[in-house]
Structure 1
Amino acid sequence: MNLFQLRAFDAVAREGSFTRAAARLFISQPAVTGHIKALEEHYQITLLRRTARRVELTEEGMKLASITRAMFGLVDEAQVLLEANRQLLTGRLEVAADGPHRVMPMLASLRERFPGVTVNLRLGNAQETLAALLSEHVDVAVLTEVEPRKGLTLRALQTSRICALVPASHPWLALAQGVDIAQLHDIIMVLREPNSITRRTFDGACDNAGVKPRVLLELDSREAVTEAVAAQLGVGIVSSAEVSYDPRVGAVPINGSGLINQHMLGCLERRAELRLIKAFMELAL
């Protein structure tokens, strides 16, 4: 079955004219005539009656027209959908992030620029976020302290600093310059799990400075750390990029080396030129 022939027949059936059908398809009138003639001869069937003034469908032509109208109607719908996606009027973007604070302003910018695009956001720790990107479960990811690797496109976003999280009544909050990392020696602390990027950065800085805090609790979320600090179970740590207002606690900068984290936006290199991914990367940066 030749779809070009069917498309020509469908155009004539819709327009009732070979001339208008040719204009609809952006081909010549003889080409339309040739396609339909070949279709009729191949299947030994008369689909159209041609008169001096008009083109009429035969009974078999009307039956075929009902089929081609539905068939090419779906093709036209597919064309509209794909064209809308190409112009970023619609589409779906899968995003992963190792925290909500950096990614939310990016999503707000995307929504403002392309309101028809739907976003699915997946939050997790640093390892989960990177794994989701590398396994192609997401299109783009907001990452922290990721080493460059083959096949991965990374763009620097911002840096953040490790801060101490203390109860609202803690005297450190009155220190404009923050606290030195040495002041955390032998201090009771409540920290994230050892695989947390924030925890790893903090532990590395403590090792370099010869500081050994007393870790009372290890918790698996920022929210849990905040609740533990609010309950005065110990001093916590938090990235400066993730400090949220909470009247029960406050963040104090920690002074020392090795307390800076680099945040990045990443996608797979072979997908970096896809229109929606490229647009998000440009907006975010």
Structure 2
Amino acid sequence: MNLFQLRAFDAVVREGSFTRAAERLCISQPAVTGHIKALEEHYQVRLLRRTARQVEPTELGRRLAAISHALFALADQAEDLLDSSQALVSGRLELAADSPHLVMPLLARMRERHPGVRINLRLGNTQETLTALNGERVDLAVISDISERPGLLLQPLGEARLCLLLPANHPWVGTREEVALHELRSEVLLQREPASLTRRTFERACLDLGLELRAELELNSREAVIEAVAAGLGVSIIYSLEVPRDSRVRALPLQGEGLVSRHFLACLERHAELRVVQAFFEVAADAH
């Protein structure tokens, strides 16, 4: 078997894209396409299919990817072992995060301590971050409210509480210290997309109180929520760590149970021996 072809296939499955796979491997996109075409033609199989949004493995491709992920993870560990007597002056770290506010200070510390390490960061909601971690598209993830399970290594990073984000000229600003959930019935509520941890945590807390609050507008990013609130379209929910330094908006603590989320640095245990992963865990431990 041609390992260059298998490496190209593995990269496409991890990235869900021929273009990103080429960037990951530092080769051209036509080279990636050629490697996979040669692999499929040699064995007379179909390993990948294109969808409207990305490239996905076929059933045979998924089974092969499980093997290739493990194979190249071991290759990375072997290279890491051989380099272990040297300082960490180079390397590559694939990282996903569901909150830029948590991960950016860690990246700054990592770059300061190990400037030669190249870092590729993916930002998304919690579900997208978890999918990238489980699919071995990344080595590490900064993620919220993940549960312990076999094969997963977790390091606590702290916790954050949900707040109410309001326009700076809202009547509650300057007159209230906190807001109860039931008081939001009188407000125009803006919400994140259903996969957002912010929304799921908020809706779970409302459900526990038997409170039904319907969003008037759904927005698919934290930045869009902030701009909508600043424009006076309504109020929304945001974590305390994510409250922007923006004179157009203010935040008030929400009163109630179940409004706190815990944040973790996570990796699959089979990646924990990689020196670049260990280095990032050390940085996170020092920061915490």
Query: TM-score normalised to the size of structure 2?
Result: 0.68
Corresponding position of 2:179? 179
Q: 1:84–1:90: 8 Å Cα contact kept in structure 2?
A: no
- Tell me how far apart the structure 1 counterparts of residues 156 and 258 of structure 2 sit (CA, whole Å): 18
Matches within 5 A, 1:27-106: 83=83, 86-106=86-106
Q: 2:96–2:123: 8 Å Cα contact kept in structure 1?
A: yes
1:152 aligns with 2:165: no
1:282 aligns with 2:282: yes
What is the DSSP-based 3-state SS (H/G/I as helix, E as strand, rest coil) of the residue aligned with 1:136?
A: coil
Corresponding position of 2:220? 220
- Tell me how far apart the structure 2 counterparts of residues 112 and 122 of structure 1 sit (CA, whole Å): 20
AA at the equivalent of 1:163: C
User: Whose Rg is larger?
Assistant: 1
- Tell me how far apart the structure 1 counterparts of residues 261 and 168 of structure 2 sit (CA, whole Å): 25
- State, as a whole percentage, how many aligned pairs show the same letter: 53
Q: 2:160–2:239: 8 Å Cα contact kept in structure 1?
A: yes
AA at the equivalent of 1:283: V
- Tell me how far apart the structure 2 counterparts of residues 232 and 109 of structure 1 sit (CA, whole Å): 37
Corresponding position of 1:124? 124
AA at the equivalent of 2:131: A
Residue 172 of structure 1 deviates from its aligned partner by: 2.0
Higher mean C-alpha deviation, range 222-231 or range 161-170? 222-231
What is the DSSP-based 3-state SS (H/G/I as helix, E as strand, rest coil) of the residue aligned with 2:190?
A: strand
What is the DSSP-based 3-state SS (H/G/I as helix, E as strand, rest coil) of the residue aligned with 1:215?
A: coil
Q: 1:164–1:254: 8 Å Cα contact kept in structure 2?
A: yes
AA at the equivalent of 1:151: G
AA at the equivalent of 1:137: R
Residue 159 of structure 1 deviates from its aligned partner by: 0.6
- Tell me how far apart the structure 1 counterparts of residues 127 and 86 of structure 2 sit (CA, whole Å): 32
Are the structure 2 counterparts of residues 186 and 85 from structure 1 closer, same or farther at C-alpha, using a change threshold of 3 Å?
Answer: farther
AA at the equivalent of 1:255: Q
Higher mean C-alpha deviation, range 86-95 or range 207-216? 207-216
Residues 142-176 of structure 1: CA distance to partner in whole angstroms, max 9, x if unpaired? 00111112211111111100011100111222146
- Tell me how far apart the structure 2 counterparts of residues 214 and 186 of structure 1 sit (CA, whole Å): 11
AA at the equivalent of 2:219: L
Query: TM-score normalised to the size of structure 1?
Result: 0.68
- Tell me how far apart the structure 1 counterparts of residues 100 and 136 of structure 2 sit (CA, whole Å): 20
Corresponding position of 1:238? 238
Residue 242 of structure 1 deviates from its aligned partner by: 1.0
Q: 2:84–2:275: 8 Å Cα contact kept in structure 1?
A: no
Contiguous gaps of at least 5 residues in structure 2:
1-78
Residues 227-280 of structure 1: CA distance to partner in whole angstroms, max 9, x if unpaired? 211121111110111111111111111010010011111001111122110110
Residues 188-245 of structure 1: CA distance to partner in whole angstroms, max 9, x if unpaired? 2010012210000001111112333341101111111112111211111101111111
Are the structure 2 counterparts of residues 84 and 155 from structure 1 closer, same or farther at C-alpha, using a change threshold of 3 Å?
Answer: closer
Contiguous gaps of at least 5 residues in structure 1:
1-78
Q: 1:181–1:254: 8 Å Cα contact kept in structure 2?
A: yes
Residue 180 of structure 1 deviates from its aligned partner by: 1.6
Q: 1:187–1:213: 8 Å Cα contact kept in structure 2?
A: no
